[in-house]
Amino acid sequence: MLTGEVIEVYAEDRPYPSCLILSRATQPLHVVAAVDPQALQTHIITAYRPDAAHFHDDWKTRRKHQ
């Protein structure tokens, strides 16, 4: 996560704003994390390997489904 790239920001998420982070350490990994600025804590919501059916080859861009 420390070397990842924020690819989406969910500023309206509650109780804390969150973001989608792309890590490419060995294989692409997506991590959704939320930050509690008052407690100076980061909460990991979920982590998963992105699926080529939902993301383009850059693992950042979502595919549009019709």
Average pLDDT over residues 43-51: 96
SS3 content of the chain, % helix, strand, coil (to 5): 0, 45, 55
Which one-letter amino acid corresponds to residue 61?
T
* 66 has a pLDDT exceeding 70: no
Tell me how far apart the alpha carbons of residues 32 and 27 are, in angstroms, rounded to a whole number: 16
What is the model's pLDDT at position 42? 94
Q: What is the mean pLDDT of the chain?
A: 93
Q: Is the pLDDT of residue 1 over 90?
A: no
pLDDT mean over 42-61: 95
* Digit-coded pLDDT (tens) for 3-15: 899 999 999 999 9
Residue type, 20: L
Tokens representing residue 35 in the block: 């930050």
